[in-house]
Every structure is written in C-alpha cells, then in structure tokens.
Amino acid sequence: MNKLFSLLALTAIALFAACSPKTTAVATATSPAPAAAQKFGPTAQDTFLLWSINGPGVANESYLFGTIHIIPEEDYFLPRGLVKSLNDADEVIFEIDPRQMSDPGMLMGLLTKINMRGDTSLEDLLPKEQYDEVEAYFTKMGMPFFLFKRMKPLFLSAMVGQDMEALKNGGGLSSGGTKSYELELTELAEAGEKAIGGLETMEFQLGLFDAIPYTAQAKMLFQSVVSDQGEDASSGISEMDKVVGLYKRKAIAEMAASFTQESSGVAEFEELLLTKRNENWVPQIMAKIKANSAQPKLFAVGAGHLGGEKGVISLLRQEGLTVEPVR
C-alpha cells in the first residue's frame, strides 16, 4: 500500500501540469504583445524567483515565489530572502494545497480518475513505433507497462525522468534524488505554524486534464519521452536538464518565452493550462493581500507562470500593484 501511495503522490505532481518539467514547453508559450503596447512583464535581465507585492490598499508587503515542481536533489536551493519571506508571512498559498498529495483519502480518489474512459489504451492513440518507444522507455525504468497503458497520458508524463526505483521501494517525492519545492515549503510552513492554502483544488486540475483530448495528451507524453532521452545525442542534454538550467539561472522571462518546435501541435492548450489560470489567480491574490488588516502572504506557484505579458507579475502590475524583485 505504501508503494501505491508513493506512486499516486508522484502522479499528483502532474496536477501542476502547466509548469512541471514535463509540460513546460507546452504551457509556457506566450503570445507576443503588440509592438506599441506598454509592457508589464519581467525582462530577460530580471533573473529573480522571489518578488515583493506592494501598492494601493496593500497593508503589508506580500511575496510571490516561482517554484519548479520536481528538481534533482543536488540542484535544490532556497533563493536569498525566501526563508525570511516565509517567516514574515502568516499564510503560504500554493497552486493547490500540497497536503492533499499525502492525504490517503484524496489519493484514493485520484486512483479512480487516472485511467482513460472506456477501454482506451495508449496503443490506440500513438503510431506503433511511437508506442513501442514509450513502452520501452518505461520498461527500462522497471515499470510493468501493461499496468499503466490505460492511464491518462499526462499522468504518465509526470513520471518521465523520475527515479522509479525509489518509488518501488516505497520512497516519497523528497527521496530518490529528487525534491518538490511545494512539499519542502509545506514542511517549513508547518514548522512555523503558518496557515496553508491553495488557489485551486485537485478536482479543478483534474478537470483541466479531462478537457485535453487523449490524442493530444499522448503526443505530449511521446515528446516528453523523446526529450528526456536527449534529442541532441552529442550533448546528451534532456528537456528536464534544460528546464532545471533555466530555473537555476532564475530566468523567468526565458521560461515564459520558451516554446519548442515539438510542442507546436498542442500549443492550443496554452490558454487552458496557463493563461486562464493566471487570470483566475490574480483576483484571489488581490483579495488576500487587500483584505482588512491583511497580514503578509507568500504565494508559491510554478515559475513558468511568472513571466510574460500574460504572466502573474504582469497581470498584478496591470491592476496597479508594484511587483519588484527581492534582491
């Protein structure tokens, strides 16, 4: 049972699909602003993950932090000022409350929703040569793939590049050489007796997955597998390596602008996975920081949501707030 919950906890990370390493190329494409339009998004020189939020009606300075949902343990770091920001805040708000990922009841509910409808299998969605490549990839990871081929492809995408040996041994997300910023920050918040919340629910994000056709999900999965194996054989650099490299450089404008050629077939889902969610979050952020006697808040969302003219920083600035990097 522990192994099952470990596997479900990993697939729950896929609920952060818009900016996880496996879907960043899909979710971070940004439509260019008109040449004459005023620009509100961070520039290429704004290499910061932690930002302060001030402005009219904001009683106490709050903070916005860009996470990466899964990162190799050796690359994990806490940016300057983050611990102080967390200590100052009375509440930490994530995309979804990370405690749901360790709630047995929530995870069992997830178990009933991870498979595709009817008898649909990944074999039905990909050409044989592509399916064979995906199957071989997961088999090499030690997964009995016949048990997983009916799983919704975006959940499988969450497993690409992960240490499945740790999962088979009952390890969690912060073991086996990887860490989750959401879970690490949750531990710090709980130790500091901070309130914890989410801008969305797990049910909402599951609904996003159901709104994406299975054929498009399968294409995303295949692209993730190809990228993780390293498209450039001479460099051996996988897509996750590239995303982690951007994150370590704190290059949030590049994250928002990145749009690889292989993602072009599913670019239509950018609006669903990224833009509309940003637009839904901003009123919630403003309500929390402008409430009467509001104490400082720390908002922690995927770094891919911060940059661009449709990103959270730009949208907050367009509402008249001052959003500046914490140096």
Per-residue pLDDT at 265:
47
Q: What is the 3-state secondary structure (H, E, C) of the chain?
A: CHHHHHHHHHHHHHHHHHHCCCCHHHHCCCCCCCCCCCCCCCCCCCCCCEEEEECCCCCCCEEEEEECCCEEHHHCCCCCCHHHHHHHCCEEEECCCHHHHHCHHHHHHHHCCCECCCCCCHHHCCCHHHHHHHHHHHHHCCCCHHHCCCECHHHHHCCCCCCHHHHHCCCCCCCCCEECHHHHHHHHHHHCCCEEEECCCHHHHHHHHHCCCHHHHHHHHHHHHHHHCCCECCCCECHHHHHHHHHHCCCHHHHHHCCCHHHHHHHHHHHHHHHHHHHHHHHHHHHHHHCCCCCCEEEEEEHHHCCCCCCHHHHHHHCCCEEEECC
Considering the domain boundaries, does residue 138 fall inside one? yes
142 in a domain, yes or no?
Answer: yes
Query: Could you list the residue range(s) of the whole structural domain that residue 227 is in?
Result: 2-27+39-325
In this prediction, residue 291 carries a pLDDT of: 86
Q: What is residue 268's predicted lDDT score, i.e. its pLDDT?
A: 63
Would residue 221 count as lying in a domain?
A: yes
The verdict on residue 94 lying in a domain is yes
pLDDT for 280-298, tens place per residue?
Answer: 999 999 999 998 777 999 9
Q: Quick one: pLDDT at residue 263?
A: 45
Per-residue pLDDT tens over the stretch 10-24: 555 545 543 343 444
Give how many domains the chain has, as a whole number: 1
| Confidence at residue 274, expressed as pLDDT on a 0 to 100 scale | 83
According to the model, what pLDDT value does residue 35 have? 53
Q: Is 160 part of a structural domain of the chain? A: yes
Written as tens digits, the pLDDT of the chain (327 aa) is 445 555 555 555 545 543 343 444 433 444 455 555 789 999 999 999 999 999 999 989 999 999 998 888 899 999 999 999 999 999 999 999 988 877 777 777 777 778 898 889 999 999 999 999 999 999 988 888 888 899 999 888 877 876 555 544 444 444 457 888 999 999 999 999 999 999 998 888 777 778 889 999 999 899 888 877 865 445 566 667 888 999 999 999 998 887 433 444 455 677 777 888 999 999 999 999 998 777 999 999 999 999 999 999 999 999 999 999 999
Is residue 33 in a domain? no
Decide if 209 is inside a domain. yes
Instruction: Determine, yes or no, domain membership for 32.
Output: no
